[in-house]
Amino acid sequence: MDTLAILKRGPVMPVMVIQSVDEALQVTRALLAGGINTFEITLRTPAALDGVRELVNAFPDALIGVGTIRDAGQLDAALKAGARFAVSPGLPAALLPALAANRVPFLPGVATPTEAMNAFDAGFHALKLFPAEAVGGIPLLKSLHSPLPDIVFCPTGGIHAANAAAYLALPNVACVGGSWLAPADLVKAQDWRAITALAAAASVPSGQAQSS
């Protein structure tokens, strides 16, 4: 499965910062119940890689990816943990040889037209716009569509329930990423039903969201 196919699995990819393996299992189970099936687990906590291993084993039909990949060592650790794809806030040159060697589906982050063009020339046609709202958001994506019509984006950073549909309506957006589906307060309260409800509200098929 290539990167674009992964992005098209659903309109929203939750960006998850997990504090424990049990938390990762509970949150993922709640999101799956709401129709989410693609997940980015960020390498921002000591529990991240252990969480990925457990999620891959517990939910074999889910697409578990690892985010915040910054170097070849992190990429290798993510793949050994069972990650199906990788996400980065950028595209550092030092990562390119490792990506070529592993041929893993990879979503690199860009913030400018030049970065998008460089990533495209490096072989990446599906990109993460990050941090989306801070660098121009919807107006930027609209402006990029005409000169770069063969690039598709997953905007992440500042995306939430109130603006996700507007992003998804853009022709060059395959899905959006965000953390609003599993907010820290609901996770702390272990309110898994509320998280499932948020996931269900977000799990509108991409075509339906774009036609609304």
147: CATH: 3.20.20.70
Q: Residue 35, class by beta-carbon neighbours within 10 Å (0-12 exposed, 13-18 middle, 19+ buried)?
A: middle
Q: Is the pLDDT of residue 206 over 70?
A: no
- The mean pLDDT of the chain is 94
DSSP state of 93: G
54 part of the active site: no
DSSP state of 20: S
80 part of the active site: no
Contact between residue 119 and residue 108 where contact means Cβ atoms under 8 Å apart: yes
Q: When comparing pLDDT for 210 and 16, which is higher?
A: 16
The number of domains in the chain is 1
Residue 208's pLDDT is what? 42
pLDDT band for 207, please (50, 70, 90 cuts). Answer: very low
pLDDT band for 116, please (50, 70, 90 cuts). Answer: very high
Q: Is the pLDDT of residue 81 over 60?
A: yes
d(CA 195, CA 120): 36
Q: The domain containing residue 76 runs over which residues?
A: 3-211
Out of 23, 40, 54, 133, the active site residue is 40
pLDDT band for 210, please (50, 70, 90 cuts). Answer: very low
Residue 205's pLDDT is what? 52
Q: Is the pLDDT of residue 90 over 70?
A: yes
- Residue 123 dihedral angles phi and psi, to the nearest 5°: 105, 5
Residue 209's pLDDT is what? 39
Q: What is the pTM of this model?
A: 0.93
Neighbouring C-alpha atoms within 13 Å toward the C-beta of 167: 29
d(CA 106, CA 124): 8
Q: When comparing pLDDT for 206 and 163, which is higher?
A: 163
User: What would the pLDDT profile of 124-150 be if each residue is shown by its tens digit?
Assistant: 999 999 999 999 999 999 999 999 999
Residue carrying the six token digits 């948020």: 198
* Average confidence (pLDDT) over 44-53: 97
Contact between residue 15 and residue 179 where contact means Cβ atoms under 8 Å apart: yes
Out of 23, 54, 128, 133, the active site residue is 128
Q: Is the pLDDT of residue 22 over 60?
A: yes
